[in-house]
Structure 1
Amino acid sequence: MLTADTRQEFAPPHTPGMLRALVLALLAHAALVGVLAIGVAWKRELPPATVEAELWSAIPQEAAPPPLEETPPEPETAPQPEVKPLPEPPAPPPPVVKQAVPEAPSKADIALAKEKERLLEEQKAKELQAKQELERKALEKRKLEQAAKDKLDKERAAQAKLKEQQEKDKLAKDKAAREAKEKADRAEKARKAEAADKAKAAEAAKQKAEKAAKEEAKRAELERQQQLNRLAGLAVAAGSGSASSSGTAAKSSGPGANYSGRIQAAVKPNITFTDTIVGNPKTEIEVTLASNGEILSKRITKRSGNKAWDDAAENAIDKTRKLPLDDGKVWSPMIIVISPQTLVGQ
């Protein structure tokens, strides 16, 4: 709805000389009205109409009505001659009215008519221009309103799209965090299960190793005892043993009497130990010999409890490399007992 200010804004600009043109137009119109009034007034009287009429008889008389029933008959009268009604006279012709012959317009009338037509055209042109201006401004206003509406719609659509994208990102982050947590939980469960399996396997391996160690220690102890028995059994044959021998065989079935001394003489120079030793620790080492007395392998079967002495004893065996033969015989495997006070035997 257009307000008063809007109407003032859309009003056409004032034409210069409008007042003077308006006064001249009013004077011209007044003169035209006066001339027309004078021209109509002197032609208002009509010419007299001539009417002719002819009379044929007196005023016509109506016939008597017929007699009614139960009325006494009227006395007979002399018959009267029948009177015929006269025909109505013809209507008079309408009066002839002479048409007024219009006079030719004067130059002033033509000028006034042209001026009036020009003023009307100018007024129409101004009204048309004002209407077009109003339509243009209304169109611009509608365009601005439509642009503002489109901009608002775009902003709302962008906000809705941004909000939707934010919700999608939030859902994706939540999903990723949930999946990461589930993955971490699965990994933790797998790690715990693996640790439990490893612990079980380690425990089983430990038990197996302990069982194997016990069996190996038992076997080593048995072999050590057998070796010690072989080294200690210095039985001699008849005529070749000592006076205190109690054997019945022709000769000793174990190492010779002087074989332990020969081993002691081979191993003792290779012992290098500078630390102070408390007591008499003993290290038992099992060696495997070749046919020429060369040491093929060694293994500590019983430790002394002193790691330094065990290492010195093992190094002494490594340095010896070869043990003497017992009259061409090889006792393999053989256990050598090494201690600070004695190298072989208890």
Structure 2
Amino acid sequence: MHAAQDTLNLTPPQPPGMVRALGLALLAHALLLVALVINVQWKQTESATVEAELWSSSVQMAAPKAVDVPPPPPVEAPRPTPPPPQPVAKLQPPPPAPDVKDADIALERAKKKREAEKLEQAQQDKADKAKRDKLEKEKALKAQKAEEEAAKKLADDKRAKDKKAAQDKQDAKDAAKEAAKEAAKDDAQKAKAQADAKALAALRADQMKRIAGLAGATGGANASGSALQSSAPSAGYGGKVVAKVKPNIVFPDDFEGNPKAEIEIRLSPDGTIVSSKLVKPSGNKAWDDAVLKAIDKTQTMPRDTDGRVPSSMIIGFKPRDF
């Protein structure tokens, strides 16, 4: 029972218009049967039994066909040999109706195939787009890398150029320093050579004067000098110098202590003061400056008892002595 029910459930549904198609098929078969009967009876001189087999998609029982019994032949005449029986025409069964389930399956397969082709095409388009994007990205990266390398090369060239310029400038400075050192060295050597030449000339002149003045020297028996006469100032010459410088000293009277400032004075042969220099400070800068200013203001020194002026001398000045 269940197997029959499952078979019925699995049988595809009958297409619409099945009854009408079945009726038309039966009508056509009946017409064909009538035509065959007429054709057989027309060709036979004597009536004979004709059998026909009908095939149909549905099982139906046909009514029996009336058979005409021929009259008995006369005894005298021989019975003619009947013609061979005509073959029974077999009707071909109608083509089976199309299976709707197979058509649906075919449509479903075609639909799935189209969807698969569409999906495959979409995946192919996506892969092509990804490939194009990758190529564009690689191209952009290459362009960016080329720009970075160009910028780096430009920066390196600029740094190298700046470094070379700085090195050239430093080399120029070093060369200038070396040249200045060489020039200073040459100047120093020239100055030393000139000083040595002057000293040598002065020594030679002194020697010549000494040689020339030995004949007319006026020194005592124990004298050890080389000049014609002694050039040292007399005992009272210092007092004359102090007396001439004293009026030019400007200093307050309430000075504490009595420090001594020793001044070296260089004179020309006519007594003009050439230079003055503090050789021993008194410890009071104001007193030292006052004495130097007074000497500059004096300008000339008196002559000694012999009428001569010493070329240089050192005089000590104390505040309480004035």
TM-score by length of 2: 0.41
How high is the TM-score relative to the length of structure 1? Answer: 0.38
